[in-house]
Chain A
Amino acid sequence: DIQMTQSPSSLSASVGDRVTITCQASQDISSHLNWYQQKPGKAPELLIYDASSSETGVPSRFSGSGSGTHFTFTISGLQPEDVASYYCQQYENLPLTFGGGTKVEI
């Protein structure tokens, strides 16, 4: 299985801050990397697919980049409604695997 290492596991930032989360794959996964947001008590929602493509309706402050084994997810201007856990997920190979998650607080 491909292991996904996500960091940090949690962070606290202020409204308006730029927030960066990283995800490292245990092998080359090209651009086959997605990012999800999960608010407390809710189902995850897809934000970014194929490393850098935004899902329809996702605010422009959310972005992703990277390829190969190193990926970055950025919130450029943290908002109160962004309090959530964020997960990366690879789809280079089955089984699909997720990073351990990053809990973002304000």
Chain B
Amino acid sequence: DVQLVQSAAEVKKPGESLKISCKGSGDNFNTYWIAWVRQLPGKGLEWMGVVYPDDSDTIYSPSFQGQVTISADKSINTAFLQWNSLQVSDTAIYFCARSVLSSAWLYRWGQGTRVTVSS
């Protein structure tokens, strides 16, 4: 069965950089879209963007364009979410999730990566 395993929780200071990962197991990782979803503390779900690992085609939500970088390395079945300069407001849980299309249902989710940004 397809599984997505995310990297461990991170504690960072404002201004630091960070790259978190989402590794897929099973067949055909590269031919499904991987989305990133943010959940602020005690809040709902926000779609950040999506990447197609086979050709690295990436689509961002306007709310997150320029704030983060979404990428993938198909040779290691892994998608990434990256910040160049973290802010306290980036404190959240970040989920990756698999989809058959860039715009569809998210049918398999990673366990989430908690990112805490604090001085």
Contacts and interface: CB of A to CB of B under 8 A. Distances in A.
Our verdict on whether A and B bind, yes or no, reads: yes
Given A43-B95, A43-B112, A98 B45 contact: yes
Interface stretch (B13-21, B55-63, B71-79): B55-63
- Interface size grouping (class) on chain A: 20 to 34
A43 B110 contact: yes
Interface string A13-49: 0000000000000000000001010100001111001
A25 to B, nearest CB: 14
Contacts of A93: 103
Contacts of B63: 95
Interface string A43-65: 11110011000010000000000
B52 interface: no
Nearest to A85: B44
A44 B45 CA distance: 9
A96 interface: yes
Most chain B beta carbons < 10 A, residue from A44, A49, A96: A96
The interface residues of chain B, by DSSP majority, are classed as loop
Given A44-B95, A44-B109, A46-B107, A95 B44 contact: no
**Chain A interface, >50% SS class:** loop
24 contacts: A36-B106, A43-B110, A43-B111, A43-B112, A44-B45, A44-B95, A44-B97, A49-B104, A49-B105, A49-B107, A50-B105, A55-B107, A87-B44, A89-B47, A92-B103, A93-B103, A94-B102, A96-B35, A96-B47, A96-B61, A97-B47, A98-B45, A99-B44, A101-B45
Interface of B: 35, 37, 44-47, 49, 59, 61-63, 95, 97, 102-107, 109-112
